[in-house]
Amino acid sequence: MQLIDGKKISLQLQEEIAIEVKKIMASGIKQPHLAAILVGNDGGSETYVASKIKACENVGFKSTLIRFPDNVSEEDLLKAVNDLNNNDDIDGFIVQLPLPRHINEHKIIEAIKPSKDVDGFHPINVGRMVLNLPCYVSATPYGIVHLLEKYKIETTGKHCVVIGRSHIVGSPMSILLAKNTELGNCTVTLCHSKTKDLISHTLKADIIICALGIPEFLKGNMVKDGVVVIDVGTTRVVSTETKSGFKLKGDVMFNEVAPKCSFITPVPGGVGPMTIASLLKNTLLAAKKEIYK
Amino acid sequence: MQLIDGKKISLQLQEEIAIEVKKIMASGIKQPHLAAILVGNDGGSETYVASKIKACENVGFKSTLIRFPDNVSEEDLLKAVNDLNNNDDIDGFIVQLPLPRHINEHKIIEAIKPSKDVDGFHPINVGRMVLNLPCYVSATPYGIVHLLEKYKIETTGKHCVVIGRSHIVGSPMSILLAKNTELGNCTVTLCHSKTKDLISHTLKADIIICALGIPEFLKGNMVKDGVVVIDVGTTRVVSTETKSGFKLKGDVMFNEVAPKCSFITPVPGGVGPMTIASLLKNTLLAAKKEIYK
């Protein structure tokens, strides 16, 4: 069994990006610039955005944080999006989700200029992904594909079972892995809460992407020997083992499943660290105008 | 075994549309208007476009056919698309595919205003379909979902195997049937040319969507008793049985498979007739501004 070290790969990717930033700036292209819009003071969102800003510094990007109170109007938020769309110094930007209930999230996301939508959440980027056209792939799926590639995990002809059909992970993963591309070509089965006899699917899988958000859901008796397991779950559960009183749990019962695996991602330190690197990579692509000319 | 009569359902749907057209026009809304751009003189394309125009007449739509020679420039075609985008009398329009090789098909499709893209091929409509947002679903997938609905074929919790991953049928079908909607909620396995041991998947399927374009590919020994089979194939093969010397063949070896089915679509007369009805339905939605306000 080999552990997939997402932390290491993420740092490698960030180093590569830092080198590329120096190179393009030396060639006269301006410093890549990522902006983030943060609404309210949700603890999780604060942490995520702070680590994105920090990562920008690490790789030599410029970054801008734009904050709004919880009660910001949809109109004001749309105006901020529009300002960023029209600001030539901004290469890409994100609106940290979730947004307060009185704001139509889809309306905000569709207002983002597709060429600056480095989160890859705009329908046009999702559609381009499906159609195999140049696009920003969203962070988690992008990170997972990158991990499979780095560990030279063969996908062509393999049977991949994706558990969970979220718009953020499960659904795009099922699409990416089934595509006629070198990093795709899997036979993909997408399972979810309405799936009957789930174990009959997981037992046949060569690769399992576990992204349903239920801690330790995938048990040892549900997988076959030699399987590759990608654990996307990160649920904070109360724990007496840590100082903070909390622990991050994946969707996989690691102790049972890992011994049967050829490869497995740990939680933490697997898929999680890849998401920020993926966002930086998309921002670099935006700065280089590689997706939208 | 029950035959799914696509011809009958398509005519029913067209009658419903015709009634609706009269109703909305009586309420003061203008006559729905579909335009089609046809490049060159390909026999298949001529036939398809002619039958779409004819169907428009049947349901009381206005229609416009715009023809270009084979050697039309991309620029001129983009200009025609732009004119239709800006013509308030046109509710929706299609560009008949395939286009000549010197034209970038994706560029033309992305130039269509999403609110008028009644073929549902624009990436934004594909993305909205994935994200469960209001959109135009392309004709064949729309038609298949409608057939399943009309015949009250349960999808929730069923295992559906889709064979073929084309952008026109297989890929969108796999997405639609897996979605968390009343007409979705299947566990979907998407199979294709790189799939190993295909029969192990098809033998377990409750529903099979056969859309790979190889005549009589699906044999009787590949399906279980009680399966629902949707045959999307329509390959013209030489035949001594018909006057024309040709016959339409589906992707399913009908004589072997049909006796094992609970439901099956014939070829011709199954999925085929539904596509035009679906295009008309999308045009009606466009005229009523139900998808894009």
**Buried/exposed code over B115-135 (b: 16+ C-beta within 10 A; e: otherwise):** bbbbbbbbbbbbbbbbbebeb
Residue B191 phi/psi, 5° resolution? -110, 155
Q: Is A163 a domain residue?
A: yes
Q: Compute the nearest-CA separation of B162 from chain A (Å).
A: 10
pLDDT number for residue B90:
98
Task: Tell me whether residues A126 and B127 touch, CB distance under 8 A.
Answer: yes
Q: Compute the nearest-CA separation of B47 from chain A (Å).
A: 26
**Residue B151 sits in the same domain as residue B221:** yes
Give the C-alpha separation, B47 to B42, whole Å: 9
Give the C-alpha separation, A91 to A45, whole Å: 22
Residue B20 exposed, middle or buried by CB count within 10 Å (0-12, 13-18, 19+): middle
Q: What is the mean pLDDT of residues B190-200?
A: 98
Give the C-alpha separation, A110 to B127, whole Å: 11
**Residue A152 sits in the same domain as residue A262:** yes
Task: Tell me whether residues B130 and A167 touch, CB distance under 8 A.
Answer: yes
Smallest CA-to-CA distance from A277 within A20, A46, A85 is with: A20
Lookup: tokens for B44: 């298949």
**Residue A99 sits in the same domain as residue A167:** no
pLDDT in tens, chain A (293 residues): 999 999 999 999 999 999 999 999 999 999 999 999 999 999 889 999 999 999 999 999 999 999 999 999 999 999 999 999 999 999 999 999 999 999 999 999 999 999 999 999 999 999 999 999 999 999 999 999 999 999 999 999 999 999 999 999 999 999 999 999 999 999 999 999 999 999 999 999 999 999 999 999 999 999 999 999 999 999 989 989 888 888 999 999 999 999 999 999 999 999 999 999 999 999 999 999 999 98
Taken in order A7, A260, B178, B165, the sign of the CA dihedral is positive
Task: Tell me whether residues A157 and B201 touch, CB distance under 8 A.
Answer: no
Q: What residues of chain A lie within 8 A of the CB of B174, using their CB? A: 174, 178, 190
Query: Could you report the per-residue pLDDT of B228-284, keeping only the tens digit for each?
Result: 999 999 998 998 988 888 899 999 999 999 999 999 999 999 999 999 999 999 999
- CATH number for the domain including B253? 3.40.50.720
Active site annotation includes B152: no
**Residue A165 sits in the same domain as residue A261:** yes
Query: Could you report the per-residue pLDDT of B172-185, keeping only the tens digit for each?
Result: 999 999 999 999 99
Neighbours of B219 (CB within 10 A): 13
Q: For chain B, which residues lie within 8 Å of any Cβ of chain A, measuring from their own Cβ?
A: 106, 122-133, 156-157, 159, 165, 167, 171-172, 174-175, 178-180, 185-192, 194-196, 200-201, 204
Neighbours of A148 (CB within 10 A): 23
Residue to mutate among A119, A174, A195, A199, with most B CBs inside 10 A, is A195
Q: Compute the nearest-CA separation of A195 from chain B (Å).
A: 5
Give the C-alpha separation, B46 to B33, whole Å: 20
Q: Choose the catalytic residue: A96, A116, A249, A281.
A: A96
Cβ contacts of A202 within 8 Å, gap of 6 or more: A161, A163, A191, A208, A218, A222, A223
Query: Could you report the per-residue pLDDT of B47-57, keeping only the tens digit for each?
Result: 999 999 999 99
Lookup: tokens for A101: 């209930």
Minimum Cα–Cα distance from A110: chain B residue: B124
pLDDT number for residue A293:
85
Active site annotation includes B96: yes
Q: Choose the catalytic residue: B119, B206, B231, B251.
A: B119
Q: Compute the nearest-CA separation of B177 from chain A (Å).
A: 10
Q: Is B187 a domain residue?
A: yes
Largest CA distance in chain B: 58
Give the C-alpha separation, B204 to B213, whole Å: 22
- CATH number for the domain including B81? 3.40.50.10860
Per-residue pLDDT at B65 exceeds 90: yes
Q: What percent of chain B has pLDDT over 90?
A: 95
pLDDT number for residue B121:
98
Q: Is A204 a domain residue?
A: yes
pLDDT number for residue B26:
96
Q: Compute the nearest-CA separation of B85 from chain A (Å).
A: 18
Give the C-alpha separation, A103 to B126, whole Å: 24
First and final C-alpha spacing in chain A: 43
Phi-psi region of A183 (alpha: psi -120 to 50; beta: other; left: phi over 0): alpha
Task: Tell me whether residues B124 and A125 touch, CB distance under 8 A.
Answer: no
pLDDT number for residue B224:
98
For residue A38, the SS3 value is strand
Task: Tell me whether residues B123 and A124 touch, CB distance under 8 A.
Answer: yes
Give the C-alpha separation, A78 to B254, whole Å: 55
Domain count, chain A: 2
Minimum Cα–Cα distance from A156: chain B residue: B194
Task: Give, as one character, the DSSP assignment of residue A252.
Answer: B
Please give the distance of CA A48 from its chain centroid, rounded to a whole number: 12
Active site annotation includes A119: yes
**Residue B93 sits in the same domain as residue B186:** no
Task: Tell me whether residues A178 and B190 touch, CB distance under 8 A.
Answer: yes
**Residue B166 sits in the same domain as residue B253:** yes
Query: Could you report the per-residue pLDDT of B74-87, keeping only the tens digit for each?
Result: 999 999 999 999 99
**Residue B103 sits in the same domain as residue B166:** no
Q: Is A4 a domain residue?
A: no
Q: Is B13 a domain residue?
A: no
Task: Tell me whether residues B106 and A131 touch, CB distance under 8 A.
Answer: yes
Task: Give, as one character, the DSSP assignment of residue A218.
Answer: B
**Residue A149 sits in the same domain as residue A192:** yes
Give B97's Cβ-side CA count (13 Å radius).
11
Domain boundary among B95, B113, B131: B113
**Residue B195 sits in the same domain as residue B79:** no
Query: Could you report the per-residue pLDDT of B93-120, keeping only the tens digit for each?
Result: 999 999 999 999 999 999 999 999 999 9
Give the C-alpha separation, B105 to B80, whole Å: 14
Residue A64 phi/psi, 5° resolution? -135, 130
pLDDT number for residue A263:
98
* Structure-token match 């094992």, residue found: B260
Q: Is A192 a domain residue?
A: yes
**Residue A105 sits in the same domain as residue A213:** no
Lookup: tokens for A266: 């740990």
- Residue B259 structural domain: 139-271
Q: Is B2 a domain residue?
A: no
**Residue B34 sits in the same domain as residue B95:** yes
Q: Is B217 a domain residue?
A: yes
DSSP per residue over A152-206, as a string?
T---TT-EEEEE---TTTHHHHHHHHHSSSTT---EEEEE-TT-SSHHHHHTT-S
**Residue A96 sits in the same domain as residue A207:** no
What is the Cα gyration radius of chain B? 19
pLDDT number for residue A244:
86
ipTM of the complex as predicted: 0.96
